[in-house]
Amino acid sequence: MPHLNRRQLLKAAGASAAALALTPLMRRTAFAAEEKKAAAGFTLPPLPYAYDALQPSIIERIMKLHHDTHHAAYVKNLNTALEGQDDLLKMPIDELLKNIDKVPEKIRQTVINNGGGHANHTMFWQVMAKDGGKPNGALARAIDQAFGSFDKFQAAFSQAAITRFGSGWAWLIAGPGKLEVMSSPNQDTPVMEGKTPILGLDVWEHAYYLKYKNLRPAYVAAWWNVVSWKDVAERYALARKGS
Ligand code: MN3
């Protein structure tokens, strides 16, 4: 290795850290078994883009509040609930939710609410991007097979999101079995039922009220513009490999 000065060394270290951060499996911290945790306790992952990246579909003010306040609170409350339980604090969030029966009954609902909130939002940030494109390849074929066409899938998913009463999520599930659409209340995650979500939409009012007021259908329609189909396809490929 040639001799590097301090500045060159720092530059090289920065470049490899950036490369690591961009590796799909490293970047993914929810709903993928490959995640490795270094320490006990859960942390708020940074947004993978700027607060204003998804405008006009999702405005900066919503993004800031949603990530820095709501998601941060789920992480904090989860860590507080599990204080002193290092074996549970060391688990990847997906594993903790899959093994929710191992959580003491006294704090189980708190862990479902806040652990689900942490996992669901971690995925939510990642399945969105500016100019997310359209599904292609194996994922597009699976969508056609399960729903008849992309339009029919979109209609079914939107319907699930719009008709979920109160707070909750709409999901595209990759298995077991063929693709399906479902919704869940509150922060309940399909992972607790042994299902593998590959796309999730937050329909809590905090996700849209500042821009769309009570018009959830308008929010859902605009959200399709920022779905990262590349990320969903990667999740689909991982789910198929895992089953
Ligand atoms: Mn939310």
Q: What share of the chain has pLDDT > 70, as a percent?
A: 84
- Which DSSP letter does residue 169 get? E
Tell me what the mean pLDDT of segment 106-129 comes to.
Answer: 98
State the distance from the centre of ligand 1 to the C-alpha of 102, rounded, in angstroms: 26
Q: Whole-model pTM?
A: 0.86
pLDDT higher than 50, residue 236: yes
- The pLDDT tens digits of the residues spanning 13-53 come to 444 444 344 444 444 556 654 455 667 899 999 999 999 99
Using CA atoms, how far apart are residues 2 and 11, in angstroms rounded to an integer? 14
> What pLDDT was estimated at residue 40?
80
> What pLDDT was estimated at residue 72?
98
- Averaged pLDDT of the chain: 88
- Which helix (DSSP H) or strand (DSSP E) does residue 62 occupy? helix 60-64
State the distance from the centre of ligand 1 to the C-alpha of 10, rounded, in angstroms: 37
> What pLDDT was estimated at residue 29?
54
- Which DSSP letter does residue 197 get? E
> What pLDDT was estimated at residue 32?
54
- Least Cα distance to 117 among 49, 172, 154, 71 occurs for 71
- Residues β-bridged to residue 172: 181, 199
State the distance from the centre of ligand 1 to the C-alpha of 207, rounded, in angstroms: 5
> What pLDDT was estimated at residue 9?
43
> What pLDDT was estimated at residue 8?
45
Domains of the chain (ranges; CATH) run 6-126 (1.10.287.990), 137-241 (3.55.40.20)
pLDDT higher than 70, residue 5: no
Return the exposure string of 75-96: e unless at least 16 CB atoms fall within 10 Å of the residue's CB, then b: bebbbebbeebeebbebbbbeb
Q: Within a 10 A sphere around the Cβ of 107, how many other Cβ atoms? A: 17
Using CA atoms, how far apart are residues 50 and 54, in angstroms rounded to an integer? 8
pLDDT higher than 60, residue 120: yes
- Which helix (DSSP H) or strand (DSSP E) does residue 182 occupy? strand 180-185
> What pLDDT was estimated at residue 133?
84
pLDDT higher than 60, residue 142: yes
- Confidence class for position 135, pLDDT limits 50, 70, 90: very high
> What pLDDT was estimated at residue 6?
43
Q: Residues with Cβ within 5 Å of ion ligand 1?
A: 202, 204, 207
State the distance from the centre of ligand 1 to the C-alpha of 6, rounded, in angstroms: 43
pLDDT higher than 80, residue 130: yes
- The pLDDT tens digits of the residues spanning 143-167 come to 999 999 999 999 999 999 999 999 9
- Least Cα distance to 85 among 62, 108, 53, 117 occurs for 108
- Weakest-pLDDT range from 4-13, 61-70, 173-182: 4-13
State the distance from the centre of ligand 1 to the C-alpha of 5, rounded, in angstroms: 46
Using CA atoms, how far apart are residues 24 and 19, in angstroms rounded to an integer? 10
In sequence order, what DSSP letters do the residues of 168-232 get, joined into one string? EEEEEE--SSS-EEEEEETT--GGGGT--EEEEEE-SGGGTHHHHTT-HHHHHHHHGGGB-HHHH
- Which helix (DSSP H) or strand (DSSP E) does residue 144 occupy? helix 137-147
Q: Within a 10 A sphere around the Cβ of 111, how many other Cβ atoms? A: 21
- Least Cα distance to 121 among 35, 46, 18 occurs for 46
> What pLDDT was estimated at residue 203?
98
Cβ–Cβ under 8 Å, residues 118 and 74:
yes
Q: Strand 197-202 relative to strand 168-173: parallel, antiparallel, unpaired? A: antiparallel
Cis link prior to 197 (omega < 30° from 0)?
no
State the distance from the centre of ligand 1 to the C-alpha of 144, rounded, in angstroms: 29
State the distance from the centre of ligand 1 to the C-alpha of 167, rounded, in angstroms: 9
